[in-house]
Amino acid sequence: MKNFILFTSIILCYFLFIYLDKTYITTNSKIIDFLAKDYPSGAIQDYIESRQKWWWLDYTATPLLIGIKVLLVSFCLNFIKLFDLPGLEKVKFSEFVFLVLIAEFVFIIAGFYKFINFYWINTDYSLEDLQTYYPISLLNLREYISAEKWVAYPLQLVNLFELFYWGILAWGIWELSDQKISLKKSLGLTTITYGVGLLFWVGVVSFFILNAQY
């Protein structure tokens, strides 16, 4: 039940982000300004009407995508039990799910940070700015690192919030072991489970982006 309550709370927060983004950040005027350089007005109008017609798709897809993400991260962390470490041998999969749901709130804070940045601070922005921005990440320095499109996703993941996410996962593993293993070891376990899974995922996404370029 506690996992369901947490998951529902997270989804409601993401629904709020979608509403705020569509209403105040990714507005029709910003979209028109961005597309006007490359597309005729008729095509742009068709896109705007399609966006208004299918507004509910984002709300429908969000619970599915977040649910898959939580289960995949929990699945990676579950491999910790193979190491037969003290305090972790009897940890249930649902407890890993609970830990991952707690950690997900880090990215909710990141979402609020991004909204605040574009709504109150950097108000003179374009859609391109939105696409090339992630709070406190190397993606914001992309123009100084590489212009290749496939580099954007890995750079986005190198951010302060991702570091906090790793920290919460490591702290949670330490707690689940009843503090029978060290925090240093729990961080290592996070690295060889979630970290390896994330590295594989980044490789797959970057591969598809790279192939789409050429």
CA dist 194 and 18 (Å) reads 27
The neighbouring-strand residues paired with 159 are: 137
Residues of the chain under the 70 pLDDT cut: 143-144, 146-147, 212-214
Q: Which amino acid is at 133?
A: Y
CA dist 122 and 140 (Å) reads 13
Note the pLDDT of residue 93: 96
Note the pLDDT of residue 187: 96
Note the pLDDT of residue 152: 82
Note the pLDDT of residue 213: 60
Say what the pTM is.
Answer: 0.92
For residue 192, give both structure tokens: 């060889």
Residue 123 C-alpha from the chain's centroid: 23
Residues near 21 by beta carbon (within 8 Å), at least 6 away in sequence:
115
Domain ranges of the chain: 2-213
For residue 172, give both structure tokens: 């949670």
Note the pLDDT of residue 109: 95
Note the pLDDT of residue 206: 83
CA dist 114 and 132 (Å) reads 12
How many CB atoms lie under 10 A from the CB of residue 148? 12
Note the pLDDT of residue 132: 82
Q: Which amino acid is at 130?
A: L
Residue pointed to by tokens 């982006």: 209
Q: pLDDT tens for residues 92-138?
A: 999 999 999 999 999 999 999 999 999 999 988 988 888 888 888 98
